[in-house]
Amino acid sequence: MIEIKVDIVGGSLAGLSSAISLKKYDKSIKVRVFEKYKKIGYNAEGRRCGEAHSLMPECKKWIPPKKSIFNEIRIGETVVGSEKHSIKAKPNITGFMLNRPEFIFQLGKKAEELGAELITDHKVKSLNELDGEYIIDASGCPSTIKKIIGKDRGIKGSTYQQTLENSNAFVPDRLKVIFTGDPGYFWIFPRNPEKREVNLGFGTSIKTDKNLKKELEKFKKEHNITGKINHVTGGLIPLGLQRPLMYKNILFVGDAGVGAFTFTGQGIYRALISGDYAAKCISKGKAKKYPRMVVGAFIKWDTIGKIYLYPSFIFSKINQDLVLSYFKYFFNFNLSH
- DSSP E strands: which ranges in the chain? 5-9, 30-34, 52-55, 69-73, 75-80, 83-88, 94-98, 117-119, 134-137, 156-165, 174-180, 184-190, 198-204, 228-238, 246-247, 250-252
Edge to edge, the sheet with strand 134-137 lists 117-119, 30-34, 5-9, 134-137, 250-252, 246-247
Average pLDDT value over all residues in the chain? 88
CATH superfamily of 5-74+94-155+238-302: FAD/NAD(P)-binding domain (3.50.50.60)
C-alpha–C-alpha distance, residues 48 and 231, integer Å: 10
Lowest mean pLDDT among 1-15, 74-88, 116-130, 167-181: 74-88
What local confidence, expressed as pLDDT, does residue 93 receive?
63
Domain residue limits, the chain: 5-74+94-155+238-302, 156-237+320-336
Amino acid identity at 197: E
C-alpha–C-alpha distance, residues 298 and 301, integer Å: 6
Lowest mean pLDDT among 16-20, 77-81, 111-115, 252-256: 77-81
Fold of 156-237+320-336: Alpha-Beta Plaits (3.30.70)
Backbone angles phi, psi at 8, to 5 degrees: -115, 125
Lowest mean pLDDT among 58-62, 131-135, 146-150, 233-237: 58-62
Q: What's the pTM value of the predicted model, to 2 decimals?
A: 0.90
What local confidence, expressed as pLDDT, does residue 336 receive?
43
Respond yes or no on whether the N-terminal peptide bond of residue 142 is cis (omega within 30° of 0). yes
Backbone angles phi, psi at 260, to 5 degrees: -110, 160
Is 195's pLDDT higher than 80?
A: yes
What local confidence, expressed as pLDDT, does residue 6 receive?
98
Question: Band of the pLDDT at 309, cuts 50, 70, 90?
Answer: low
What local confidence, expressed as pLDDT, does residue 335 receive?
44
Mean pLDDT of 93-102: 89
124-134 pLDDT, tens per residue?
A: 999 999 999 99
C-alpha–C-alpha distance, residues 240 and 155, integer Å: 7
Task: Give bridge partners of residue 164 from the DSSP assignment.
Answer: 198, 229
243-283 pLDDT, tens per residue?
A: 999 999 999 999 999 999 876 778 999 999 999 999 999 99
Q: What is the largest CA-CA distance in the chain?
A: 65
